[in-house]
Structure formats: structure tokens, C-alpha cells
Amino acid sequence: MLRFTEDHEWLRLEDGIATVGITAHAAEQLGDLVFVELPKVGARLTKGEPAAVVESVKAASDVYAPLDGEVTEVNGAAVDDPAGVGADPQGAGWLYRMRLSDPGAMDALMDAAAYDALDK
Amino acid sequence: MSAPVAETAPLEHTPLHDLHLRLGATMVPFAGYAMPVQYPGGVLKEHLHTRAAAGLFDVSHMGQIALRADDPAEAARALEALVPADVIGLAPGRQRYGLLTDEAGGIRDDLMIAHLGDRLVLVVNAANKRADAAHLRAHLPAAITVDELDRGLLALQGPAAGAALAALAPATAEMRFMDVRRVEIAGAPCFVTRSGYTGEDGFEISTPRAATAAVAEALLAEPAVLPIGLGARDSLRLEAGLCLHGADIDATTSPVEAGLTFAVSSARRSGGARPGGFPGAARILTEIADGPARRRVGLLPEGRAPVRAGAPLFAGADDSAPAGRVTSGGFGPSRGAPVAMGYLPAALGEPGTRVFAELRGRRLPVMVAPLPFVPAGFKRG
């Protein structure tokens, strides 16, 4: 199940674990990324609170937690090669994985068609 | 992701507005103008291209102010009452960096002063241009005409800038750093200075407003030249250790604190031919003699996280009171690492001193470093 937020994050849910990243639209808006900071494994995230930071030459942007949950894994490759996040933001450039407190909350987020239709 | 802020106020357009849109620029509000922050290549590539070849910047939003008098020497003499530069000693065909100081010794604005023979032309920051013109009118004698010029301004910067401009205006090949010449480019009468704000060799080209697009397109037709936005302009000037007024310098910073003592000409210092006589002279000359309490310094964060403007600086990792703060910071593409500038007490200002910047609630080690972060490429010879 793939869902999107109005803050331009995506989540893919598999077995109660959501993989989270920034959307292709967000990556294009940010431009070349030069720094990525990810949450620690075990961190408890609250929906809408800053969970990660992505930085371009000109600005730092918070990446908000899309839902409540606990971080189970982070993508070290994204930290080592921030440019790789921009190159494949919805694939190899994923940021972290989290165990959702309430997987059912995914249903309230947008599907791809709704996100594409969003006035960005 | 943080949402972009919607812009509602009407923005002014530079003479290159249509060209920016045609080139696919991302336009942002800046100092009341719609300005290109980047083109499709992006800030990183634009920055590196400027250091490797040549970049063309639209800086038409900046203020161009002509000072005229029956005798141009009269305008130079009068301007000395407002800036600590040696303006009287500025030869026709030369340009000098200057500061408009205030009575408290702060910096109202920084500017370029060019001597065109029959007049002085000042280039001032976009955000300050109305206030600067009003300040000049209020304080210069009535015999000096203060004329806000409605002209375009282009900056052509980078090691290939000289060859690119010489292809269109061969006379510019002989210009040295800070020379000023009147030349015709693409059929338009322009005045050109060999200067800029990237740390590279290059030119600023003042164009008749209606000819600005034609001059820009002629320069962009040179293979080495790409259009560069404000994003890279900012990272280039930061790496070059150059101050942005409103960030690194303002009314709360003195020229000596800011490391701009060179803009206080020797003729205007104690023991010089015309000591003092500019706003804030008492404080500024005292600070030159005794040293300032704090200094603008270069800062190299030890990790990979950019430390940006506003971050507080601490002498110790556990200190509760900040010792200073970052005034400009980001990622330096040519350094391949984060770079920043900020103010620290003089005792902490020596290169090699380790201090701490607070970033997202953590203290990160930052090394005081010499400026600039990249060697300057000016054509001084």
C-alpha cells in the first residue's frame, strides 16, 4: 500500500512496517541535496513532528513524520550520498522505516492519484 | 516537507524577466523583485560552472545611483562626508568598495563607487536602494545631483568571463581589477567594471534598460557562459568570504568588527591626509587603533551538517550563554563541505580556535578558519 502526505512524503506499508521518503515532486523542488539527517533507530515519532532533515545548498527542510510510530531502520546510503536521494527519491533514496502505531491510519492518507491531483 | 510561502505582494520585474522565464528559472521574491533563484541546472551545478567557466547573473534589482556636479571632484569631496573611503583619490576610470556608515559606527549599506570621469556611479544593495538615495539627498549639498538610474545590471563572473566579454567588446581585455570603462556591447552603450561578488575574475555591466536583454543574450551565446541564479550567487559570495548586508553586516556591526577595515582608506584614518570626517569616525578610528571587541570570522563545521544563519555559537560545549552567532552559512560546493561566517569575541577569533554551533538542539564543533574559503581569482596584474 503506497500513500502520500500533503507535506510531500510517501509511505509504503509492508507487514506493519512503513518505508518513508520524500516524493519526486519534493526532490525536484529541493534541487541537489548535500546533507541528510535521519532519526535514530528506536526513536518514537509523532505525526507532524520533524523526523528527518534534508538540505540543499540553499536551505534546510524538515521532513515530518507522516504518522505515529517507532523507527526500525534507517537508510545509511542516503546519509552517505545525499545526492542519491534526489536521484531516486521514491526508490533507493528512501529515508527510514517505522513500525506504525496504527497501520489503519494509512487509509486516511492520499493514494497516488489523489497526490498527483494535489495543487502543489 | 516545509511548504513554500505564497507570495502575494506585487513584485517588480527586471528587464530580463521574460528571458528568465524562457530559460526555465525558478522565480522567487527578493527585495521586492521577482528574481531567478536557480535555472534548471540547479544551484550546485551553477556554482561549480561559475568557478570553472563563466556565469551570467541578473543583478538589475540593485540600485545604480549617479552623483553629478559641475565639477566631479565636488561630488567626490561631498561623498567623503558619508563614506570612510578615499573618494577624492579615486581616479577617473577606477572603482572602489565603500561603506555608508552611520553616526554610531554601524554600516547602513555597502557599495561600489565608480568614477566615470564626468560623474560617480554608486552600486548599492537592492533592499537599501530607496533608503540610500534618500540618505544621499538628505546629506549631500544641493549642488550634487542624486539620480537613481533606471538601467539594467549584469554580472559576468568566472575564469572564462574575460574571454567571453572580450569576444563582444575587445577593449575590455585590457581592464584590470576595479577598472571602469565605457564600451559598446551588442550595439548598446554600457559601462563596465572589472569586479563582482563571487571571488572570481569578472565584470559588472551596466546597460540601458531596453538593451539589457540583448546584451544578456549576446553573452549567453558565448559557449562558456551559463545563466546563474541568486542561490549560487549567495553560495559563491559566502565561499569568497564576502559580506551580505542585512546578514553579515548591518547597523549593529562596525567596519572593523566586520573585517572591512580596508574600506576605511588610509587617507581617512588617524594620521592620514583627511582623518575622520565620516559618520561614526570616533568609534571606527578607535577600533582600528585598539582592536574591536568582536570579529567576523570564517567557520568550518567539523561534520557534514550545514550550519546556517542565526545559529548561536558557544565557546564551550556546555556553556549556557552564547559567545556569538552565525550570520551566513550553508554548503560550499567548491569546498565540498559546509562553510559559514559569524561573529565571535576577539579572543575566540583566531583561526584554529574550536567553538560550538547549536543546531537542532545539539552542539556541533566548528573551527574558526581564515577567509576566503576559496582563493580569489581577481585580475590584478
* A35 shares contact with chain B (CB less than 8 Å): yes
Predicted local confidence at residue B1, as pLDDT? 54
Chosen CATH of B293-381 out of 2.40.30.110, 2.60.40.420, 1.20.1290.10, 2.60.120.10: 2.40.30.110
B338 and A35 in contact by Cβ < 8 A?
yes
Residue B7 has pLDDT above 80, yes or no: no
Instruction: Look up the domain containing A32 and give its range.
Output: 2-117
DSSP β-ladder status, A69-74 and A96-100 = antiparallel
Which residue carries 552565525 as its cell? B326
Q: What is the CATH number of the domain that holds A33?
A: 2.40.50.100
Which residue carries 585580475 as its cell? B379
Q: Which residues of A touch B234 (CB under 8 A)?
A: 58
B43 and A56 in contact by Cβ < 8 A?
yes
ipTM: 0.88
* Per-residue H/E/C for chain B: CCCCCCCCCCCECCCCHHHHHHCCCEEEEECCEEEEEECCCCHHHHHHHHHHCEEEEECCCCEEEEEECCCHHHHHHHHCCCCCCCCCCCCCCEEEEEEEECCCCCEEEEEEEEECCCCEEEEECHHHHHHHHHHHHHHCCCCCEEEECCEEEEEEECCCHHHHHHHHCHHHHHCCCCEEEEEEECCEEEEEECCCCCCCCEEEEEEEHHHHHHHHHHHHCCCCEEECCHHHHHHHHHHCCCCCECCCECCCCCCCCCCCHHHCCHHHCCCCCCCCCCCCHHHHHHHHHHCCCEEEEEEEECCCCCCCCCCEEECCCCCCCCCEEEEEEEEECCCCEEEEEEEEEHHHCCCCCEEEEEECCEEEEEEEECCCCCCCCCCCC
- The pLDDT confidence band at residue B381, using thresholds 50, 70 and 90, is low
Predicted local confidence at residue B305, as pLDDT? 96
For A111, the 3-state DSSP assignment is coil
CATH superfamily of B7-290: Probable tRNA modification gtpase trme; domain 1 (3.30.1360.120)
Which of A24-38, B1-15, B98-112 has the lowest average pLDDT? B1-15
Domain count, chain A: 1
Residue B36 has pLDDT above 90, yes or no: yes
Residue A82 parent element (H or E): helix A82-87
Which of B30-34, B146-150, B375-379 has the lowest average pLDDT? B375-379
Domain ranges of chain B: 7-290, 293-381
- The pLDDT confidence band at residue A119, using thresholds 50, 70 and 90, is confident
Percent of chain B at pLDDT above 70?
Answer: 97
> Measured between CA atoms, how close is B165 to chain A, in angstroms?
29
B235 and A37 in contact by Cβ < 8 A?
no
Cell of B79: 561623498
Of A9, A22, A60, the CB nearest to B306: A60
**Stretch B79-84: mean pLDDT, rounded?**
98
Pick left, alpha or beta for residue B369 (phi over 0 → left; psi -120 to 50 → alpha; otherwise beta): beta
Cα dihedral B203, B206, B210, B213, rounded to 10, equals 10
Residue B353 has pLDDT above 90, yes or no: yes
Average pLDDT, chain B: 96
Q: How far is CA B217 from CA B19, B33, B36, in A?
A: 9, 21, 16
Which residue carries 527510514 as its cell? A96
pLDDT tens, residue by residue, A20-48: 999 999 999 898 999 999 999 999 999 99
B38 and A31 in contact by Cβ < 8 A?
yes
The closest of B71, B330, B254, B146 to A56, measured between CA atoms, is B330
Of A32, A55, A64, the CB nearest to B306: A55
> Measured between CA atoms, how close is A32 to chain B, in angstroms?
7
> Measured between CA atoms, how close is A83 to chain B, in angstroms?
11
φ and ψ at residue B241, rounded to 5 degrees = 70, 25
B306 and A58 in contact by Cβ < 8 A?
no
Buried/exposed code over B262-290 (b: 16+ C-beta within 10 A; e: otherwise): ebbbebbbeeeeeeeebbbbebbbebbee
**Stretch B243-257: mean pLDDT, rounded?**
98
Residue B309 has pLDDT above 80, yes or no: yes
Q: Which residue of B has its CA nearest to A25?
A: B1
Predicted local confidence at residue A42, as pLDDT? 98
Residue B3 has pLDDT above 50, yes or no: no
Average pLDDT, chain A: 95
Q: Round to whole Å and give the CA distance between B278 and B285.
A: 10
Give the contacts of B88 (CB within 8 A, at least 6 positions apart).
B73, B76, B77, B80, B267, B274
Predicted local confidence at residue A120, as pLDDT? 74
* A115 shares contact with chain B (CB less than 8 Å): no
A58 and B42 in contact by Cβ < 8 A?
no
| Residue B302 CB-half CA count within 13 A | 13
Percent of chain A at pLDDT above 90?
Answer: 91
Residue B90 has pLDDT above 90, yes or no: yes
Asked if A36 and A95 count as a contact pair (C-beta separation under 8 A), the reply is: yes
Predicted local confidence at residue B238, as pLDDT? 98
Residue B4 has pLDDT above 50, yes or no: no
Residue B105 has pLDDT above 90, yes or no: yes
Choose between B4 and A114: higher pLDDT: A114
**Stretch B155-183: mean pLDDT, rounded?**
98
B305 and A31 in contact by Cβ < 8 A?
no
DSSP β-ladder status, B54-58 and B225-227 = parallel
Predicted local confidence at residue B6, as pLDDT? 52
